[in-house]
């Protein structure tokens, strides 16, 4: 390596091919990363982005091709090689120990925690120095379990920087961040580039890719289908390249709401751990209307979702469904009251990973529709699954596939089909498109809008303000378990909602009422 060269290639992947059985996850993929450059890796779920990064990190061994880091060929199948050579990865799902402090998490794995040579003072000083240089504000002595999602991500990045990473790989880093946190992340990344780091930014959010990257690589079905300097492309072109066809967002037209289907009057619930419960929440979910719930993560969204799911009952206040007060509130009675529930965590709450697609499709209805006197009707289960696969365009080998082998988008389509096919009156959609690609996002939004037009009352919970503002007929903001008054479509600007999200306005609203 000679630093005198104007452009230095720090990473080069040549002809990487990886097959899993009959599936080719990566098909002769080649690209390079230069010093001080941000390359965006763009692609739908299942396009092969994660597999590629797993090969770089030695988690998988490529069938063909090789990886070259700082001019050295990387031994295949060795996870330490890339780490030791200075590549740091920030995973979509954080890999932090919640019961340890920030500095302990950062040195964890880098050096033995109990070692005599470990001087916490020096470690913390170094962490403080890195935080200051990269604008990653975090207290080294804070316990990670108490941190917000945004702060945890900063810890992950610090962890990589602490190990002298010269290449940072970020896998869907903004999926869990608020708009403000995303902006902060981007300024950190720009700082890092300025100091000579190189970044691979994996995403399917086009506006972010356009905002942060120098060069965009588009993966589709395992193949590198396009490479564009960011300055010479636009969102439309990238979207089309990513899905292989023109993309149109579903048109959401304003609706005329009907009668309230579900009403809360000063309902409070218990919190769980550090998550707040609901604090005297009053709201109506009306037929033919999408109600959006905006808010910073961890402000009571889970409590409201649990309440509507039947997992939690009110401790005070009145909850009525179709005008009738609820009693003996459980998931089963919630389903019985016609509430379709799309849970936040589709992997652990929404589906059973090792159950087949057909079995997952009947989790809620096996007792009533797919059995007689305690005997399962497997023939009907199967034909029902085949119908869902066709109606909801679930891409899969068949009804007997284990659900964990499906992509997030296809898993979500199954959940959607499971709850929508019996024409629900109330729909709870908690983060329904988190982590999904554009195609799947548009599909889910389109289906929700369709259900609304058919007369369902929809509650959309999301941390993505764009999504809330685009879909909702009426918006509530939640903060520390308190709910704002309803705002009709188009009456609020993002900054106004942002103020409510930060907790302003609730006192005044309480006095006014």
Partner 1 sequence: MRLEPIANPTLARRTLPPVLALAMTFAVAALLAMIAGGNPAAVFGEILKGAFGSKFAVLETLNRATPLIFTGLAVAVAFRAKLWNIGAEAQLYAGAVVTAVLGTGALGWPSPVLLPVIAVAAMLAGAFVLFVPAVLKTRFGVDEVVTTLLFNFIFLLFVSYLLEGPLKDPMGMGWPKSARLIPEARLPRIVEGLRLHWGFALALISAVAIWIVDARTTLGFEMRAVGQNAEAARFAGIPVTRVILKTALLSGGLAALAGYSEVAGLKGSLTLDLSPGYGYTGIVVAMLALLHPLGVVVAALFVAAIFVGADSMSRAVGVPTYLADIMLATALLLMVLAILLTKFRVRRD
- Per CB under 8 A, residues contacting partner 1 are 20-21, 59-60, 77-80, 309-311, 330-332, 334-335, 341, 343, 348-355, 359, 363-364, 366-367, 371, 374-376, 378, 402, 404-405
Q: Which residue has the tokens 């995403």?
A: 203
Q: CB-wise, 311 or 326, nearer to partner 1?
A: 311
Is the distance from CB of 119 to CB of 52 less than 8 angstroms?
A: no
Determine the Cα–Cα distance for residues 34 and 167; give it in Å rounded to an integer: 10
Angstrom CA distances, 20 to 48, 375, 452, 477, stand at 11, 37, 41, 45
- Output 148-151 pairs: Cβ under 8 A, ≥24 positions apart: 148/297, 148/298, 149/176, 149/177, 149/181, 149/297, 149/298, 150/176, 150/177, 150/178, 150/181, 150/184, 150/185
Write down the least CB distance from residue 408 to partner 1, Å: 15
Write down the least CB distance from residue 245 to partner 1, Å: 28
Q: CB-wise, 350 or 432, nearer to partner 1?
A: 350
Residue 152's H or E segment, with its range, is helix 149-162
Q: CB-wise, 253 or 375, nearer to partner 1?
A: 375
Q: How many CB atoms are closer than 10 A to CB 120?
A: 14
Write down the least CB distance from residue 61 to partner 1, Å: 8
Write down the least CB distance from residue 244 to partner 1, Å: 24
Residues 6+ apart with CB under 8 A from 23: none
Write down the least CB distance from residue 349 to partner 1, Å: 5
Write down the least CB distance from residue 366 to partner 1, Å: 6
The partner residues of 20 in beta bridges, in order of sequence, read 23
Q: CB-wise, 54 or 101, nearer to partner 1?
A: 54
Write down the least CB distance from residue 294 to partner 1, Å: 24
Q: CB-wise, 9 or 24, nearer to partner 1?
A: 24
Q: CB-wise, 178 or 360, nearer to partner 1?
A: 360
Q: CB-wise, 133 or 348, nearer to partner 1?
A: 348
Determine the Cα–Cα distance for residues 459 and 318; give it in Å rounded to an integer: 18
């Amino acid at each position: 390596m000679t630093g005198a060269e104007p452009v230095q290639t720090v990473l080069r992947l040549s002809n990487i091919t990886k097959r899993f059985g009959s599936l080719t996850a990566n098909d002769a993929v080649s690209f390079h990363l230069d010093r001080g450059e941000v390359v965006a890796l763009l692609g739908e779920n299942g396009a092969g982005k994660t597999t590629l990064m797993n090969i770089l990190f030695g988690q998988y061994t490529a069938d063909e091709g090789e990886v070259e880091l700082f001019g050295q060929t990387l031994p295949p199948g060795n996870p330490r090689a890339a780490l030791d050579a200075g590549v740091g990865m920030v995973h979509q799902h954080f890999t932090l120990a919640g019961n340890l402090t920030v500095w302990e998490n950062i040195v964890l794995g880098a050096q033995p925690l109990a070692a005599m040579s470990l001087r916490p003072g020096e470690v913390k000083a170094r962490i403080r120095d890195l935080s200051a240089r990269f604008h990653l504000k975090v207290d080294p002595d804070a316990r990670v379990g108490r941190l917000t999602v945004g702060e945890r991500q900063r810890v992950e990045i610090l962890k990589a920087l602490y190990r002298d990473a010269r290449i940072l790989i970020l896998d869907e880093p903004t999926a869990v961040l608020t708009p403000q946190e995303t902006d902060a992340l981007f300024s950190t990344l720009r700082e890092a580039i300025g100091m000579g780091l190189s970044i691979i930014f994996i995403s399917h959010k086009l506006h972010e890719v356009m905002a942060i990257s120098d060069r965009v690589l588009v993966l589709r079905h395992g193949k590198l289908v396009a490479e564009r300097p960011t300055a010479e492309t636009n969102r439309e072109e990238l979207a089309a390249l990513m899905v292989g066809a023109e993309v149109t967002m579903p048109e959401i037209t304003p609706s005329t709401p009907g009668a309230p289907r579900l009403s809360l009057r000063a309902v409070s619930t218990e919190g769980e751990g550090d998550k707040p419960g609901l604090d005297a929440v009053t709201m109506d979910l009306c037929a033919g209307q999408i109600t959006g719930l905006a808010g910073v993560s961890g402000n009571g969204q889970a409590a409201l979702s649990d309440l509507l799911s039947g997992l939690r009952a009110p401790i005070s206040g009145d909850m009525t469904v179709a005008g009738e007060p609820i009693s003996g509130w459980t998931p089963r009675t919630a389903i019985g009251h016609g509430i379709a529930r799309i849970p936040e965590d589709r992997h652990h709450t929404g589906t059973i990973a090792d159950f087949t697609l057909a079995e997952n499709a009947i989790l809620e209805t096996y007792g009533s529709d797919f059995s007689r006197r305690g005997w399962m009707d497997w023939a009907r289960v199967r034909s029902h699954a085949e119908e869902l696969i066709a109606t909801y365009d679930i891409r899969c080998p068949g009804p007997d596939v284990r659900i964990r082998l499906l992509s997030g988008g296809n898993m979500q389509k199954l959940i959607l089909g499971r709850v929508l096919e019996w024409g629900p009156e109330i729909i709870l959609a908690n983060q329904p498109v988190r982590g999904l690609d554009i195609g799947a996002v548009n599909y889910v939004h389109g289906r929700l809008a369709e259900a609304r037009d058919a007369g369902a009352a929809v509650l959309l919970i999301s941390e993505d303000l764009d999504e809330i503002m685009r879909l909702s007929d009426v918006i509530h903001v939640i903060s520390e378990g308190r709910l704002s008054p309803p705002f009709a479509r188009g009456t609020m600007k993002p900054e106004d909602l942002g103020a409510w999200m930060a907790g302003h306005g609730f006192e005044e609203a309480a006095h006014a009422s």
